[in-house]
Each structure stands twice: as C-alpha cells, then as structure tokens.
Amino acid sequence: MIDLQEISKRAEIVDCLLSYTRGIDRLDKESVISAFHPGAILNNYGKEPMLIEDFVEYALPSLQQRYTATQHRVSNIRVEIKEDRALVESYVLAYHIESGEDSNRLHTFNGRYIDTFTFLDGHWKISERFLRNDWSKIDDITNEMAGSSIWVKSSRDIDDPIYKF
C-alpha cells in the first residue's frame, strides 16, 4: 500500500537537497538557505561548526571568486523518517572549475552529506549537516569536448534561464 504522506515527506526532503545544489551552483543565497531551518549547523566545512547564515556569507563569495563554474550532484539518497526527524544520507559529487594561466583545473570532490532533517513550522528542512570526504582530486583541463566553444555557458546568477520560469 502506498503511503501518500510518506511520499510527500520524502519529496519535500529531496526538494530541499536540490534547492541547496541549485543555490550553491547558481550562487543563490535564498535557494541555499531555503533548504535549512534558521540557525542550522554545518559541520566539517571548516575548523569549527557554522550556522547556515554564516556559511552562505562565506561560501558563496568564495565560490564566485575562486571558480568559474561549479556543479553539485546528489544521488543514493537514503531517507529514514522517525516522527518529526529524519536521517538523510546523500552522496555528493561536486565539480569546481578554476581558471589557470595555461589551462583550467577541475577540482572533483566525492563524499556524503549526512543531514538531520526536522519537521518545524510545517516544513521538513535541514537542522544539522555533516560533510564527509570519500575522495577528491585535481585535474588539468587542456582540451575540451568538440562543440564546447559554441555552447552557451551557464550563468551563476539570476540571468540563468531557470529563473525565467
């Protein structure tokens, strides 16, 4: 038997994860913050845990200055709901393009988000996140795919077509 309430909870949780990934890649503060309850704690993004509000003030300008593009992907999402809390493990594969003098550099991060979601004020959102690194690497990009010079580059702001909907 399909439990529509359970499906609805899971859909809201996955939507939060995707709001975060869109926001971090489009440098959209509101989209990132919308995935978290106010005062949510992020662990392992620096030496000390930080509030989501502090994270976006630090991370988004840093990503904009250092990288010309980023792409965060989540997969293997496991959701375990118990009453008004959920443990959510998501694999994350993140690509960051850094411009260099002779070539671009591809920074690849592969790890997991381990999130505690809570149901507060009528919404499932992240209240605490732990980041885990499984592996990472840096590669020089000396050649790009054929056709890449004519494809339209993605925008990292509200000029991206996704915001025209």
Residue 128 pLDDT exceeds 70:
yes
Name the least confident of 101-115, 128-142, 144-158. Answer: 144-158
Q: What percent of the chain has pLDDT over 90?
A: 78
pLDDT band at 156 (very low <50, low <70, confident <90, very high): confident
Surface-to-core class of residue 117, CB atoms within 10 Å of its CB (0-12 exposed, 13-18 middle, 19+ buried): buried
pLDDT band at 154 (very low <50, low <70, confident <90, very high): confident
Instruction: Assess whether pLDDT exceeds 80 at residue 148.
Output: no
- Rounded CA separation 41/37 (Å): 9
Distance CA(90)–CA(78), nearest Å, equals 7
Task: Tell me how many degrees the CA angle 161-147-139 measures, rounded to the nearest 5.
Answer: 90
**Residue 68 pLDDT grade (very low, low, confident, very high; cuts 50, 70, 90):** very high
Residue 141 has pLDDT above 80, yes or no: yes
**N-to-C CA span, the chain:** 35
Look at residue 1 in the predicted model and tell me its pLDDT: 64
Cβ proximity of 132 and 114 under 8 Å: yes
Number of domains composing the chain: 1
- Percent of the chain having pLDDT more than 70? 99
Task: Specify the higher pLDDT residue, 3 or 35.
Answer: 35
| Structural domain for 74, as ranges | 4-164
For the chain, give the mean pLDDT: 93
Is residue 117 scored above 90 in pLDDT? yes
pLDDT band at residue 103 under the 50/70/90 scheme = confident
Q: What's the confidence (pLDDT) of residue 127?
A: 98
* CA gap 122, 12 in Å, rounded: 11
- The CATH number of the domain holding residue 25 is 3.10.450.50
